């Protein structure tokens, strides 16, 4: 694995929207979290670069077919998503894209969302669902947008300061005391400049209808 961009496919709902599917088909390296490999084989003609996790949900068929790329980590102090992320960091991947993190059990989804804040402190991450995408911002980033695009901003605590103009409700040295307060904004331009102080931000953009 030597590409700068890698997809980590979680064992949640397999994507159906064309945007995440195009991303999946366009990368060279795909890390599957445990049983996600079976979803990959069922829904595409793609093959995984690596299968990682405690391997308790991988089919016997997949284990036999890809025995040369299995990484078993029994440690129960981290989930399979974290194991895959740490592996990608070890391989010095610059950009990490997550797919398949939505759907399934709600507690898994919520746990994954909080993990993304930790991941965003270490690497440039993007998370694609069938409705939109999360983009991580550390310090400063310019984000492509479209006018009237629905957009939300999430931070993990009230110490984080956000600045972003060209919004229906501009963020000017904004702190969010509650996690929901940055949701349901709207872009007014084709590019947004997001500045973050004291931490990281996850920006969610709804796909164009």
Q: Which residues contact 61 (CB under 8 A, 6 or more apart)?
A: none
The three-class DSSP label of residue 22 is helix
CATH topology of domain 5-130: Rossmann fold (3.40.50)
For range 25-50, the mean pLDDT: 95
Q: In this predicted structure, what is the pLDDT of residue 29?
A: 94
Where does the chain hold its CATH 2.60.120.320 domain(s)?
135-206
Q: In this predicted structure, what is the pLDDT of residue 24?
A: 96
Give the tens place of pLDDT for each residue, 192-206: 999 999 999 999 999
Whether 1 has a pLDDT exceeding 60, the answer reads no
Beta bridge partners of 30: 7
Q: In this predicted structure, what is the pLDDT of residue 108?
A: 79
Confidence of residue 74 (pLDDT cuts 50, 70, 90): confident
Q: For the chain, give the mean pLDDT.
A: 93
Confidence of residue 122 (pLDDT cuts 50, 70, 90): very high
- Count of C-beta atoms within a 10 Å radius of residue 105: 9
CA–CA dist 152, 129 (Å, integer): 15
Confidence of residue 3 (pLDDT cuts 50, 70, 90): low
Q: In this predicted structure, what is the pLDDT of residue 109?
A: 84
Give the tens place of pLDDT for each residue, 140-172: 999 999 999 999 999 999 999 999 999 999 999
Whether 106 has a pLDDT exceeding 90, the answer reads no
Where does the chain hold its CATH 3.40.50.10240 domain(s)?
5-130
Whether 209 has a pLDDT exceeding 90, the answer reads no
DSSP for residue 17: S
Whether 184 has a pLDDT exceeding 60, the answer reads yes
- In the chain the first and final C-alpha atoms are separated, in Å, by 35
Confidence of residue 69 (pLDDT cuts 50, 70, 90): very high
DSSP for residue 100: S
CATH of domain 135-206: 2.60.120.320
In the chain, % of residues over pLDDT 90: 84
């Amino acid at each position: 694995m030597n590409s700068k961009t890698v997809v980590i496919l979680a064992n949640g709902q397999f994507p159906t929207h064309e945007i995440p599917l195009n991303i999946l088909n366009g990368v060279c390296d795909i890390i599957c979290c445990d049983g996600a490999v079976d979803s990959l084989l069922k829904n595409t003609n793609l093959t995984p670069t690596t299968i990682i996790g405690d391997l308790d949900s991988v089919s016997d068929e997949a284990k036999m077919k890809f025995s040369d790329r299995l990484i078993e980590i029994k440690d129960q102090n981290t989930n399979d998503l974290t194991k895959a992320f740490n592996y990608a960091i070890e391989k010095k991947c610059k950009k990490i894209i997550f797919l398949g993190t939505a759907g399934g059990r709600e507690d898994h989804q919520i746990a994954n969302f909080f993990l993304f804040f930790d991941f965003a402190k270490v690497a440039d991450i993007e998370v694609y669902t069938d409705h939109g995408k999360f983009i991580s911002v550390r310090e400063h980033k310019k984000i492509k947008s479209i006018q009237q695009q629905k957009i939300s901003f999430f931070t993990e605590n009230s110490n984080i300061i956000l600045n972003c103009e060209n919004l229906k409700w501009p963020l000017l040295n904004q702190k969010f005391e509650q996690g929901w307060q940055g949701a349901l904004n709207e872009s007014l331009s084709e590019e947004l400049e997001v500045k973050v102080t004291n931490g990281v931000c996850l920006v969610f953009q709804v796909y164009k209808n």
